[in-house]
Amino acid sequence: MKKIKFRLFITGLMLSLSLFFTGCSDGSEFPYTEITITDLQQGYKNGTLTVEAVVGAYLERIEKIDKKGPALNAMICINPDALAFARELDAEIRTGKMRGPLHGIPVVLKDNIDTHDKMPCTAGSRALKNSYPLQDSPVARQLRDAGAVILGKANLSEWANFRGELSSSGWSGINGQTKNSYILDRNPCGSSSGSAVAVSANLTVLAIGTETNGSIVCPSHANGIVGIKPTVGLISRSGIIPISRTQDTAGPMARSVRDAAICLAALTDADHNDTATLQEGRIINEDYTQFLNKDGLRGKRIGYYTAFRGINFKVDALMDSALALMKAQGAEIIEIDKILPDGVNDYSFEVMLYEYKQGLNAYFAALGDAAPVRSLTELIEFNKNDAIELRYYNQRYLEMAEAKTEQDAGSYEAALKKMLDGSRRNGIDRVMDEQRLDALAAPSGTPAWKTDLINGDSFQFGSSSPAAISGYPNITLPMGFIDGLPVGISIFGRAWSEAQLLAIAYAYEQHSKHRRVPEFLEP
């Protein structure tokens, strides 16, 4: 304890000196690099740190690192009230009060999550640049209630990467292209691009992303951090610009499994406006850190999903090393060559198109009279008349969604049933039952490709679909590096198995320690 207090005292002193002498001109002297929630809150409690100083340092780092050099472009806007809120939290600490598990912890939100403050919610679209939600989303409210300081809103693949063909992940009409935090001409993946880069580059401690299929997992993997895509219904989706009510979810992004687990527990309130959070059998935990121990792999039966083996020999080598580590820590590995029946991905696409139109129109209606666009039809017309929006890629998915009508309801219901049966009862549940598995594992993807605004994304594979389509949980965390670029491993499984997956992920993390601070390398 004395060592921790002394280190935090020195951290606070370093911050004051660096601000006075250098103004944090680059990242090398930033005193909070890789700091954890536990370290920050201990510093607040013993008086060696203040929330105002910490938040001020992160805001200055965003200004210098994100907006100037190396100009990561992870952030769309900054919360002008962040420092004022930080001062409120400091005043509460002086009275002996801590709001909750995130008291004084900096967080950024993907800019498709509503906040009722001086920040718009844009989905990266110029159509919504002046769209100010009428209330906090439950996610934003729970973060504030837990004491988190929302620093700002993060860039994303516009409309969560469900707008059109040949898109570049991390590009939005309102904010341009986000860069990968490790090698600057590489892609950050998406759609929660800015959220992942902000965490990896130490522009924040936590971020909240959203996923329909891969949008938390892929950018977390590509930027060397931990991302949790929880079971659909664990976290409310109200006040989040939607794609699919069947697959959408928000989730925490952090530099460690422990920090991600702490954040996850703060976001699990039921919401009467989101029936997924009210479903029978929903399992939540007030403290997910209770499941974290270094022996979490011992005795576990883990299914290695081999569908991607042979595509990239460098990724194969990392995965082989990861499996060897798991075996050394007492896990049994069972190879699984197939999870989803044929056709499930096609059913998912049809479901997404139908639900997209309904969801977007409902979101626009909830904005009331101040809505900049009032329907998907108006959004499509706005894009046609804008000088930037369609410069690099089209809006085919918006147009396909707009073409859906009530006459398509029957085919939608049939596709939904086949999708859910195929991904759940005849997919993940079947495989895990037959092999008596505790979890499944696969490489999250391949190293980040070069960003190409002309030809769009160029990735080899991603393993997010089984968990995404079923609505089941998935955790990605660093597995190693290939030529300076991080690669993640995904741990996924049954509905509501977050506690089990966190135990496995934490044990792997503690025995592997693959997280590495990015250096923003030029190509």
Cα 94 to Cα 104: distance, rounded to the nearest angstrom: 13
94-101, long-range: CB < 8 A, 24+ apart: 98/41, 98/44, 98/45, 98/147, 99/145, 99/146, 99/147, 100/145, 100/146, 100/147, 100/266, 101/37, 101/146, 101/147, 101/262, 101/265, 101/266
The alpha carbon of residue 190 and the mean position of all alpha carbons in its chain are separated, in whole angstroms, by 9
Active site residues: 110, 191, 215
Through-space distance between the first and last CA atoms of the chain, rounded to whole angstroms: 43
Asked whether the beta carbons of 514 and 478 are under 8 A apart, the reply is: yes
Residue 26 has pLDDT above 60, yes or no: no
What is the SS3 assignment for 9? Answer: helix
Helix (H) / strand (E) element for 486: namely: strand 485-492
Decide if pLDDT at 27 tops 70.
no
CA 378/CA 506 separation, integer angstroms: 46
Q: How far apart are CA 36 and CA 317, in angstroms?
A: 30
**Which superfamily does 70-341+418-512 belong to?**
Amidase signature (AS) domain (3.90.1300.10)
- The band of 28, judged by pLDDT with boundaries at 50, 70 and 90, is low
Please state the separation of Cα 96 from the chain's center in Å. Answer: 32
CB atoms within 10 A of CB 374: 14
Q: How confident is the model at residue 17 (pLDDT cuts 50, 70, 90)?
A: very low
- Rounded mean pLDDT of 281-305? 98
At 153, give phi and psi (nearest 5°).
Answer: -115, 135
- State mean pLDDT over 467-494: 98
Average pLDDT over residues 232-239: 98
Amino acid at 350: E
Q: Do the Cβ atoms of 297 and 508 come closer than 8 Å?
A: yes
Given the structure tokens 């080598």, which residue do they identify?
A: 317
pLDDT value at position 148? 99
Span 358-376, average pLDDT: 97
For 402-418, write each residue's pLDDT tens digit. Answer: 999 999 999 999 999 99
Domain boundaries of the chain, sorted by first residue: 70-341+418-512
Flag whether pLDDT at 282 surpasses 90: yes
Where would I find the H helices in 329-375?
344-366
Read off the pLDDT of residues 416-430 as tens digits, 9 standing for 90 and up: 999 999 999 999 999
pLDDT-derived band at 29, boundaries 50, 70, 90: confident
User: For 337, how many CA atoms within 13 A lie in the half-sphere containing its CB?
Assistant: 1
Of the candidate ranges 7-11, 142-146, 400-404, 452-456, the one whose mean pLDDT is the lowest: 7-11
Better pLDDT: 21 or 407: 407
What number is the average pLDDT over the span 448-467? 97
**Cα 382 from chain centroid?**
28
Gap between the Cα atoms of 487 and 476, Å rounded: 10
Tell me what percent of the residues of the chain surpass a pLDDT of 90: 94
Residues 89-138: pLDDT tens digits? Answer: 999 999 999 999 999 999 999 999 999 999 999 999 999 999 999 999 99
Contact 32, 199 (CB under 8 A): no
Three-state secondary structure call for residue 149: strand
Three-state secondary structure call for residue 195? helix
Enter the pTM of the model: 0.95
- What confidence score (pLDDT) does residue 473 get? 99
Average pLDDT over residues 337-353: 98
412, β-bridge pairs: none
Residue 14 confidence (pLDDT): 41
The yes-or-no verdict on residue 488 having pLDDT over 80 is yes
Say what the pLDDT of residue 9 is.
43
Q: What is the DSSP letter of 296?
A: T
Short-list 59, 62, 64, 47, CA closest to 11: 47
Q: List, edge to edge, every strand of the sheet that includes 149-154.
A: 75-78, 149-154, 106-110, 206-211, 249-254, 226-229, 474-482, 485-492, 439-443, 301-305, 332-336
Would the pLDDT of 15 be above 80?
Answer: no
Contact 203, 66 (CB under 8 A): yes
- pLDDT over 70 (residue 6): no
